[in-house]
Amino acid sequence: QVQLVESGGGLVQPGGSLRLSCAASGRTLDTYYLGWFRQAPGKERDFVGTVTWSGGGTVYADSVKGRFTISRDNAKNTMYLQMNSLKPEDTAVYYCAAGAGSNPGGYDYWGQGTQVTVSS
């Protein structure tokens, strides 16, 4: 079992920045990818990006490439999502998950989500 807890969401103005954290506990993460997904009201859950826990390699959705950065701190068992140049369309509940790939179905463990609202 892997337990994931997100934090850091909130209200930010367009063009602003926010950093989300995902604290992990439970079994070793070495074989997992940790991913960020987001879901806006009335829409499907979309892939944001992922990082390999062991090697640190990252992949991003085109919609966030160049604006969002995923990193992880192995010692703290924590993954981060640094979001810059935020747009109103980035408004969603953001989830972290442990699994593999860009499809939500490939992820076995999920956090509870944290709300990000981009509005003036």
With a cut of 80, say whether residue 41 has pLDDT above it. Answer: yes
- Whether the CA torsion 114, 45, 11, 15 is positive or negative: it is positive
Beta strands in 27-91 (DSSP E): 33-39, 46-52, 58-60, 68-73, 78-83
pLDDT band with cut points at 50, 70 and 90 for residue 103: confident
With a cut of 80, say whether residue 85 has pLDDT above it. Answer: yes
Better pLDDT: 107 or 32:
107
With a cut of 90, say whether residue 63 has pLDDT above it. Answer: yes
For 19-35, the pLDDT digits (tens) are: 999 999 887 777 789 99
Closest CA to 18 of 9, 27, 28: 9
Share of the chain above pLDDT 90, in %: 77
